[in-house]
Amino acid sequence: MLNFISGGVCAAQGFRAAGIHVGVKTHAAWKKDVALIVSDVDCAAAAVFTKNVVKAAPIHVDKAHLAGGKARAIIANSGNANACAPHGEEYAQRMCAAAAKAIGCGAEDVLVSSTGVIGQTLNVQVIEDGVPALYAALERSDEASDAAAHAIMTTDMAKKEVAVETTVGGKIVRMGGIAKGSGMIHPNMGTMLCFLTTDCAISPEMIKTALLETVGVSFNRISVDGDTSTNDSCIVLANGLAGNPCITEKGPDYDAFLEALQALCVELAKRMASDGEGAKHLITCTVKGAKDVTQAETVAKSVISSSLMKAAIFGADANWGRVLCAMGYSGADFDPEKVDVHFASAAGDIAVCEKGRGLDFDEAKAKTILTEHDVEINITMGEGGAACTCWGCDLTYDYVKINGDYRT
Amino acid sequence: MLNFISGGVCAAQGFRAAGIHVGVKTHAAWKKDVALIVSDVDCAAAAVFTKNVVKAAPIHVDKAHLAGGKARAIIANSGNANACAPHGEEYAQRMCAAAAKAIGCGAEDVLVSSTGVIGQTLNVQVIEDGVPALYAALERSDEASDAAAHAIMTTDMAKKEVAVETTVGGKIVRMGGIAKGSGMIHPNMGTMLCFLTTDCAISPEMIKTALLETVGVSFNRISVDGDTSTNDSCIVLANGLAGNPCITEKGPDYDAFLEALQALCVELAKRMASDGEGAKHLITCTVKGAKDVTQAETVAKSVISSSLMKAAIFGADANWGRVLCAMGYSGADFDPEKVDVHFASAAGDIAVCEKGRGLDFDEAKAKTILTEHDVEINITMGEGGAACTCWGCDLTYDYVKINGDYRT
């Protein structure tokens, strides 16, 4: 029995969080810029990082700290990516050390993330000076998770915070997450940070497996702008306080845990796509009738990534030719003459293409459908029985505005 | 001795051209929408087409007509792509037949191209009705090439027409081209049409080889928006009237021909990038010090394709972090700590990144440099001795505007 609940990263037992302003973001003193998430006890920990060859300093540090598969805390800042910048790893280490000192654990038990501008020296001093106040602010509450969620935002317009509750091995297990990500979002971990906490008892090996199985069907199925960042990180901490028999292998308990983790992360991913820089629409592209999931995913990703399709949705223009075009250059091999396309939303459903040919359709009805915030592109390929859903957003004036002058 | 000359597709001996309005574009009677290019004698002919799985009908027809490696003429329309539309191949055949009847050749000697909206039935009747007037308008003149160049434009702001003159086998050889392409432009033949004519004597085999060697270093090195279209076609006709010994193998004559063809197509490609939908800047990205050309090209293409980098250039923002980021997710493997980046233009040159780390640079000077129309991103990788240049444009409000409501 899977339920969405409140509490974000504090939903699970034994997790406290905080988010405050220390001065990394210099232009807005009211904007929180450092977050801390701490478990009362050691956690099994796993993470997935960007595949970009250019990796931010915190990622190198985290990889070392995760060697033992455990952690106690995450410290993260916004306003500076600590990537391609002087003293990167040294400063990332200093962030861990400052948090560890306050918590009373080893620096290697702390994970670190940064997000913001690339290539500028991180003001690590203000973070170190701020850690005592950050630690003092730790709480297990909705407000504390909310503060942490705000502290990792950059151009995000909306906070992303989700939590779910399920039953594993006869015990109530809770898990929650906060995420940031608005630009540079693309399959293979776009610029996103996501911190997940759970009180489930699970081994480091199995939490790693579950995270990999989850990222592939959630964060790797969204795209905002095709740019994959230097800082992407998705970290999960599991502290075992739910008291379930520890999950050490695949089976019903693992399946229940995985189902909840995937529900959590799909929801966070959709919120990221919906909050894509400048976005006015969440676009859900579902491909059915594909030969296999890989084909369905290849096609759906290509459609949600097409600038022309994205601009058409911004204009509420039912330009399905761009959908076929994006399918065609996706790299998937298929017969265009078997493809059907529908547009849909809360305002209705309209068939626009059948067997690869345009239908005469009611343009006014199509416009009404595409004017809704949440729009769907539903494709049937006629090749087999596999399906996949990916999420994206439209391309708008505001995307250009936000990114035309981000640094200043 | 390679010289740029006037005349476009009429620069070479024995080629006539025309462009008129027949009514495919219904909303603007002053806009030309059908072009015809005719050689006085049979030509060796070759073409490169889109790799999109969804191919417009004219491409299927052209592939059949090119089986013998020869052609006499090209007929092309704008305003409708004749892709994913009813009766596609039948109507493409009818365009060829109408032109062939006027010229007095076989329908299989005529090649056909279309560009415009996908998925709507082509009004082939107005084209057939217009062919006599189109044929009557044929001339060998600057004005005639200009008319043909205009007749294939869709959202293009600028006509693309280039011609060059060189010496092959002791004879003056001329070649020229017209092209269209503004949106859906991406490596692997974005939505572009390009028609090239030359009076060089060259075999069908060698013209095909030369065209493939040319497209790879010209049109496949530009990107506007990452969308590869259903209609891309680059066609070359060589009628042999220059009187040079026919090129039938590689050697000095082939090299001279190839050099001229590449110069011609690189110039046309740059004009396409410069006229990218909504573009305010031509961006030239040159990568040096790469391990090999493939690495250099992979990196340069990724940089010119990054939405974030393109939006930064629109904002004249020297956000070199996005350049490194795009290099990093290009798929090329390299050491970021050896990378240097400069921005340059007619207004100067500024180093912004050295050995993968940001430099303190004069922001005002950088802004001045990036305010020029033609801007350069110059990257040195420190991996080897190979280099490559790719071209793109910035991402602007107007791109969104043009594509948010293209069909109506």
| Model pLDDT for residues B246-297, shown as the tens digit of each residue | 999 999 999 999 999 999 999 998 888 887 777 889 999 999 999 999 999 9
**Which chain A residues are within 8 Å of B51, Cβ to Cβ?**
329
Residue B304 has a pLDDT of: 92
Contact A327, A295 (CB under 8 A): no
Q: Where are the domains of chain A?
A: 3-274, 282-404
| Nearest residue in chain B measured CA to CA from A54 | B328
- CA distance linking residue B378 with residue B369, whole number of Å: 13
* pLDDT (tens digit per residue) in B325-336: 899 988 899 999
User: Which residue would you say has higher pLDDT here, A228 or B175?
Assistant: B175
Nearest to A333 among B53, B321, B397 (CB): B53
Q: Which helix (H) or strand (E) holds A64?
A: helix A57-65
Interface TM-score (ipTM) > 0.85: no
Cβ–Cβ < 8 Å for A236, A198: yes
The number of beta carbons lying within 10 Å of the beta carbon of residue A237 is 30
B401 contacts A225? CB cut-off 8 A = no
Interchain contact A320–B (C-beta under 8 A)? yes
E strand or H helix that includes residue B294: helix B293-305
pLDDT at residue A225 in the model: 58
Judge: B315–A396 Cβ closer than 8 Å, yes or no.
no
> Do the Cβ atoms of B84 and A183 come within 8 Å?
no
Cβ within 8 Å, pair A118-B325? yes
Q: Which pLDDT does position B395 carry in this prediction?
A: 83
The residue of A307, A335, A394 whose CB has the most chain B CBs within 10 angstroms, and thus the best one to mutate to test that interface, is: A307
pLDDT in tens, B363-372: 999 999 999 9
Work out the number of other CB atoms within 10 angstroms of the CB of residue B262. 19
If contacts are CB pairs under 8 Å, which of residues 333-352 in chain B contact chain A? Answer: 333-334, 336
Q: Do residue A311 and residue B399 have CB atoms under 8 angstroms apart?
A: yes
Residue A15 one-letter amino acid? F
Residue B243's CB: how many other CB atoms inside 10 A? 16
Domain A3-274 -> CATH class: alpha beta
Beta carbons of A227 and B308 less than 8 Å apart: yes
CATH superfamily of the domain spanning A282-404:
ArgJ beta chain, C-terminal domain (3.10.20.340)
What is the Cα–Cα distance from B398 to B10, expressed in whole angstroms? Answer: 33
Amino acid (one-letter) located at B162:
V
Most A CBs within 10 Å, among B182, B359, B400, to test the A interface: B400
C-alpha neighbours within 13 Å on the C-beta side of residue A358? 25
Chain B's closest residue to A324, CA to CA, is B54
- Using CB atoms, pick whichever of B81, B230, B400 lies closest to residue A311: B400
Closest listed residue to residue B375, CA positions, set B352, B398, B356, B393: B393
Are B74 and B100 in contact by the 8 Å Cβ rule? The answer is no
Between chains, do A404 and B317 touch, taking CB under 8 Å as contact? Answer: yes
Give strand ranges (E) for A91-246.
110-117, 160-168, 171-180, 193-198, 222-223, 233-238
Q: What's the gap in Å between the CA of A118 and the closest CA on chain B?
A: 5
> What backbone torsions phi and psi does residue A151 show, to the nearest 5 degrees?
-70, -15
CB contact under 8 A, A230 and B119: no
**Catalytically active residues of A, by annotation:** 191
Nearest Cβ partner for B321 among A53, A118, A329? A118
Q: Report the 10 Å Cβ neighbour count for B360.
A: 7
Selecting from B332, B356, B407 the residue whose C-beta is nearest the C-beta of A319 gives B407
pTM of the model: 0.81
Do B128 and B94 form a contact (C-beta atoms < 8 A)? Answer: yes
- The answer to whether the CB of B217 falls within 8 A of the CB of B176 is no
User: What does the alpha-carbon distance between residue A282 and residue A223 come to, in Å, rounded to a whole number?
Assistant: 11
> Mutate which of A322, A323, A395, A402 to disrupt the B interface (most B C-beta within 10 Å)?
A322
* Pairwise CB contact (< 8 Å): A317 & B407: yes
Inter-chain contact A227–B329, Cβ cutoff 8 Å?
Answer: yes
Angstrom distance (rounded) from CA A179 to CA A160: 5
What is the arithmetic mean of pLDDT over B127-146? 98
Helix/strand/coil (H, E, C) string of B208-276?
HHHHHHHHCCCHHHEECCCCCCCCCEEEEEECCCCCCCCECCCCHHHHHHHHHHHHHHHHHHHHHHHCC
Q: Residue A325: its chain B contacts at CB < 8 A? A: 52, 54, 118, 184, 227-230
Closest residue by Cα to residue A363 from A372, A354, A353, A352:
A352
The per-residue pLDDT for A187 is 43
| Whether pLDDT at B100 is above 70 | yes
What are A290's strand-pairing partners?
Answer: A386
Residues of A in contact with B304 (CB under 8 A): none
Q: Look at the alpha carbons of A246, A249, A252, A258 in this order and tell me if their dihedral is positive or negative.
A: positive
Q: Is A407 on the interface with B (CB under 8 A)?
A: yes
Query: Known catalytic residues of B?
Result: 191
Q: Which residue of B has its CA nearest to A120?
A: B358
Size of interface A-B (CB pairs under 8 A): 205
| Closest CA of chain B from A129, distance in Å | 25
Residue B74: which H helix or E strand, with range?
strand B70-80
Task: Confirm if A306 and B226 have CB atoms less than 8 A apart.
Answer: yes
What's the rounded Cα separation, in Å, for the pair B50 and B189? 6
Number of neighbours of residue A49 by Cβ within 10 angstroms: 21
For residue A73, what are its two tokens?
Answer: 């805390």
Low-confidence ranges of chain A (pLDDT < 50): 187-190, 408
> Which residues in chain B (386-405) have CB-CB distances under 8 A to chain A?
395-397, 399-405
> What is the tens place of the pLDDT at every residue in B21-67?
999 988 777 799 999 999 999 999 999 998 888 889 999 999 999 99
Instruction: Assess A225–B contact: CB distance below 8 Å, yes or no.
Output: yes
Q: What is the distance in angstroms between the Cα of B389 and the nearest Cα belonging to chain A?
A: 21
**What string of DSSP letters covers A1-46?**
--EEES-GGGSSTTEEEEEE--SSS-S-TTS--EEEEEEEEEEEEE
pLDDT at B224: 65
* Rounded Cα distance, A106 and A110, in Å: 7
Pairing mode, if any, of strands A386-393 and A222-223?
A: parallel
User: Mutating which of A224, A343, A402, A403 best tests the B interface, going by the most B Cβ atoms within 10 A?
Assistant: A403
Closest residue in chain B to residue A182, using alpha carbons only: B308
Assign 3-class secondary structure to B109-166: HEEEEEEEECCCCCCHHHHHHHHHHHHHCCECCHHHHHHHHHHCCCCCCCCEEEEEEE
Q: Using the 8-state DSSP alphabet, how is residue A272 labeled? A: H
- Chain B residues whose CB is inside 8 A of the A188 CB are 329
All residues of chain B having their beta carbon less than 8 Å from the beta carbon of residue A408 are 317
Q: Which residues of B touch A319 (CB under 8 A)?
A: 118, 406-407
Q: For residue B345, what are the CA distances in angstroms to B218, B288, B371?
A: 21, 17, 9
Amino acid at B228: T
What's the rounded Cα separation, in Å, for the pair B325 and A227?
Answer: 8
Any CB–CB contact under 8 A between B118 and chain A?
yes
Under 8 Å CB-to-CB from A270, ≥6 apart: which residues? A222, A282, A284, A391
Between positions 226 and 245 of B, the ones with CB within 8 A of A are 226-230
Q: Is the pLDDT of residue B158 over 90?
A: no
How far is Cα B297 from Cα B184, in angstroms, rounded to an integer?
20
- Mark which residues 173-202 of B lie under 8 Å from A by CB: 183-184, 188
Per-residue model confidence (pLDDT) at position B187? 43
* Rounded distance between C-alpha atoms, residue A248 and residue B201, angstroms: 74
Tell whether B84 is within 8 A of chain A (Cβ). Answer: yes
CB contact under 8 A, B312 and A227: no
Domains B3-274 and B282-404 share a fold: no
